[in-house]
Amino acid sequence: MQPELAAIHAHQLQPELSSGEAGCPINLRTKKGHIVCLLGMNTQLLDIYLRTLAGVHAISAGTLELYGQNVATIPELEWPLLRQKISYISKATPLLSVASGFNNLIMPSQYHNKDEKPALIKKAQQLLMDIDFQGNSEALPAYLSPLERVQLSIIRAVMLDPEVLILDDPWYALDPFEYSILNQFFVTWAKAGTLITATSNVSFVRKHAQQIYFVGKTEVHFFSSWYEFCASTHSEVKEYLALFHE
Amino acid sequence: MLQPLTQFFGAFGQFSLKLPRYLFSILLFTLRVLNPRQQGRVRINKASMRTLVNQLIFSGVDALPVISLLGIASGLAITAQVILTIQLIGERTEVIDILTRVVVYELSALLTAIVLIGRSGSAITVDLGNMKLNRELEGLEMLGMNLNRFLVTPRVVGTAIAQMILSIYFAFFSIASGVLFLAYTENPGYLNYLTDIANALHPKDLSLYLIKNLMFGALIGSIASYHALQVQQSRTELPQQTQRAIVNSLSIIFVLNALFILAMQTSFL
């Protein structure tokens, strides 16, 4: 029996940093049902790693394969399909400001001819319930709260049936009491997909992460569980834990 | 010692290449946007169709009142005056010839284009430019959406269709209002001008007129979108690019119109 083809397989992957230098190498192989968390002091650096894994950022060295294909050789016409399967949502979570929240949800699915409009509306309504959206989805994004905007951005991507969700700290603009709303949705969603996120929400990492990557100044450390992470002897990890652990 | 001289020629060379380079970029951008196989295959999607319909409503339907007003005003100011003045010194056929050349083929296209540049061109630049500044476009790209296909092509096609229809609408209003005004104030016989002008429209010139308007509209949408996508990071770039889009659109449309006049001139001779 052939092993399952990883959606993302990074081998000694070094992203190109803004200074032009190469970042520390990372080895990552996604598995269905896994929640992968990237931790570190430098949040911008974490986003660079996320963007590199999504195939959006320039690679300095190493290889990145998306569904077994090296990103360097993926033809331009295949990217739209890959972007649907591997969704990257930035910290800014920008929705289209001129369209209502609900139209933002169904627009990309309509663009990709995913289904008929009534079916898409039904699907969007179900997903809004799943994520416990309490706002007015007919309002323009400018009139929504940060939590509602994040929820809509996530649903907009999920509407395309992705297999991997890459999120740059979705909890970034939220109040701590709003964290659990997203956490519950992520955990349920990740049962059938792969969630990769950069975050400083250690509570989520502690409870749900199966793969933890700590992006340090000189090295990227891998831990297979929270306990392993806590037991780490690396000084940067200890420093991080001292700062962020509850 | 030679350095200032080489610098001067270098700067002169750069300056002379600026305009051709800009025109080439606009041409390339327009052709790319209008290429139906942007993503390798021709596929209509409802999201792009909705953008197109919205653009047609904004550029076309919403512009009808202002175009009607301009049409009536220029009908009274130009059509009626041309008829009254030229008939004193020339034949009736010459009056009709001047009206078709000036009002129908030239004035309608140019005035409609000016309105379209002012209303839709600037709106497109501000709209898309703001989306780019807020990184909304990046969000769409991350969902596998081709920005040209989803946002730019419908706008360019929309402005092209709107320009063509509005121009015809303007020409009709302009001629009809002028003739009706004369028929009411001077002599009902002036109403015959309506059928005479309609009969004077040659199919070849009409096709050229339609093509010209489609080109004008497409260029207005394309130049506006091109400048919107030139916005990088700062909010101050947006008014700068909007102003450039308006001025450049006006210049290009007027020059292009002159070229069309030359082409139509040969067909008249």
Helix, strand counts (H, E) of chain A: 9, 10
Residue of A90, A107, A113, A140 to mutate when probing chain B, most B C-beta within 10 A: A107
Query: Cα separation of A172 and A102, whole Å?
Result: 23
- A137 φψ region: left (φ > 0), alpha (ψ -120 to 50), beta (else): alpha
For residue A127, give how far its alpha carbon lies from the nearest alpha carbon of chain B (Å): 17
Given an 8 Å threshold on Cβ–Cβ distance, is B143 in contact with A156? yes
What pLDDT, in 10s, does the model give residues B88-105? Answer: 888 888 889 999 988 999
- Residue (of B184, B198, B175) closest to B83 by Cα position: B175
Q: Compute φ and ψ for B214, nearest 5 degrees.
A: -60, -40
Take residue B219 and report the two structure tokens written for it: 């260029």
Vertex B6 angle, CA B4 and B9, to 5°: 110
What pLDDT, in 10s, does the model give residues B211-247? Answer: 999 999 999 999 999 999 999 888 899 999 999 999 9
The confidence band for A1, taking pLDDT boundaries of 50, 70 and 90, is low
Query: What are the sequence ranges of the domains in chain A?
Result: 8-244
State whether ipTM is beyond 0.90: no
By the 8 A CB rule, do B113 and B162 touch?
no
Supply the mean pLDDT for chain A. Answer: 90
Radius of gyration of the CA atoms of chain A, in A = 18
For residue B45, give how far its alpha carbon lies from the nearest alpha carbon of chain A (Å): 5
Interface residues of A toward B, Cβ cutoff 8 Å, are 54, 56, 77, 79-84, 87-90, 92-98, 107-108, 110-113, 117, 153, 156-157, 160
For residue B67, give how far its alpha carbon lies from the nearest alpha carbon of chain A (Å): 26
The confidence band for B257, taking pLDDT boundaries of 50, 70 and 90, is very high
Dihedral (C-alpha) A120, A125, A129, A131: value to the nearest 10 degrees?
50
By the 8 A CB rule, do A211 and A231 touch?
no
The confidence band for A246, taking pLDDT boundaries of 50, 70 and 90, is low
Residues in a beta bridge with A59: A15
**Is the domain defined by A8-244 classed in CATH 3.40.50.300?**
yes
Q: What is the pLDDT of residue A188?
A: 93
Question: How many Å from the N-terminal Cα to the C-terminal Cα in chain B?
Answer: 58
